[in-house]
Amino acid sequence: MQTQTKKHDSNCLVAYGIDTFGDRWSFLVLRDMMLYGKCRYGDFLASEEQIATNILAARLKHLESEGIISKARDPENRRSYIYSLTEKGLDLAPVLLEIIRWSSRYMKMTARRRRLLERIEADRDGILADIRARRAILTAP
Amino acid sequence: MQTQTKKHDSNCLVAYGIDTFGDRWSFLVLRDMMLYGKCRYGDFLASEEQIATNILAARLKHLESEGIISKARDPENRRSYIYSLTEKGLDLAPVLLEIIRWSSRYMKMTARRRRLLERIEADRDGILADIRARRAILTAP
DNA sequence: CTGGATCCCAATAGATACTG
DNA sequence: CAGTATCTATTGGGATCCAG
């Protein structure tokens, strides 16, 4: 499967966003990168949602083709790759935070979630800075 | 088709949001309501993205079952229905605005888009208030 | 009329097995 | 480890039908 080329082909800003990063799996990959600092194929596969290998490969390719992530060889392991957020990808952090804020209002709270929410409300800029600096916001789920 | 019940079934705030409103069509319906003040089945069908009748019906049902929109008879036209955002749906407005901000950075700008973006930057609270008051932010696309 | 339901078929997404 | 290949399941488009 190659990345689809048209989708909505809409003239709308919202549709553009949805088409670019808004499918069910792409955004979870971005979450893994922004929240957990994940950057390897195997890390993404290990997420709780159990993404299939072909889907992951397709999404990584798609996100790369959209300029949201970039792929480079791992300097410490010649047969591994490192995926990282581009500027365009980092700019999605506010979308992620708003989704988290919304969900945390309507999903049952846990202590862990409450701490994350409190930090978003109290130190949003610090979180955005951490994401840009590739520092994980949360430790493993 | 009935609304799917499991999806990711994840423990994550982000996945919860994606599962609830993050599919390709649901969010466009929400956009129509928030940005254009649309509230009728026929209005949604008329959007530029050309949603199919079966998909629209399924999405409206899904959004209603998630408590994001509600459905009522149109008092002025006995054979029509009015869909409106609940509090839970209105709370999605910040997500919408962040998507628009992101897209407007990366999609080719038009005069219309520039005006919307400027207003978001300058008067975000006013926009949020307009959405809550069911005032359309934009006129027809 | 408006607001759907239904059916058919094409296209896409996804799970699993396998490979360089 | 980082994917491809293959097969199956689900979604979506479009036409049509139907109820109030």
Q: State pLDDT tens for residues B101-119.
A: 999 999 988 998 999 999 9
Tokens at residue A100, please? 């988290």
Are A99 and B17 an interchain contact pair (Cβ–Cβ within 8 Å)? yes
Only one residue has tokens 């079952």, namely B65
Q: Which residue from B47, B129, B134 is spatially nearest to B94, judged by alpha carbons?
A: B129
pLDDT of A101: 96
All residues of chain A having their beta carbon less than 8 Å from the beta carbon of residue B98 are 94-95, 97-98
Å: A83 CA to D4 C1' = 20
pLDDT tens by residue, A117-134: 999 999 999 999 998 888
Q: Tell me the C-alpha distance between B67 and A106, whole Å.
A: 10
Is the C-beta of residue B54 closer than 7 Å to nucleic acid chain C?
Answer: yes
Please give the backbone phi and psi of residue B65, each rounded to the nearest 5 degrees, phi first: -65, -25
Average pLDDT over residues A28-51: 94
All residues of chain A having their beta carbon less than 8 Å from the beta carbon of residue B16 are 103, 106-107
Are A103 and B24 an interchain contact pair (Cβ–Cβ within 8 Å)? no
A116 Cβ partners below 8 Å, 6+ apart?
A100, A104, A137, A138, B13
DSSP percent split of chain A into helix, strand, coil, nearest 5: 55, 5, 40
pLDDT tens by residue, A73-112: 998 888 899 999 999 999 999 999 999 999 999 998 899 8
The dihedral over CA atoms of B22, B25, B28, B34, expressed in degrees to the nearest 10, equals -70
pLDDT tens by residue, B8-63: 668 899 999 999 999 889 999 999 999 999 999 999 999 999 999 999 999 999 99
Judge contact between B20 and A102, C-beta under 8 A. Answer: no
Q: Tell me whether strands A69-73 and A81-85 are parallel, antiparallel or unpaired.
A: antiparallel
All residues of chain B having their beta carbon less than 8 Å from the beta carbon of residue A138 are none
Judge contact between B31 and A11, C-beta under 8 A. Answer: no
Q: Enter the pTM of the model.
A: 0.92
Comparing alpha-carbon positions, the chain A residue that sits nearest to B98 is: A95
CATH fold of B8-139 reads Arc Repressor Mutant, subunit A (1.10.10)
Indicate whether B95 pLDDT > 50.
yes
Å: B51 CA to D17 C1' = 19
Residue B73: how many other CB atoms lie within 10 Å:
11
Q: Tell me the C-alpha distance between B12 and A49, whole Å.
A: 9
pLDDT tens by residue, B63-73: 999 999 999 99
Indicate whether B4 pLDDT > 50.
no
Q: What does the domain layout of chain A look like in residue ranges? A: 8-139
Pick B49's closest partner by Cβ from A8, A27, A96: A8
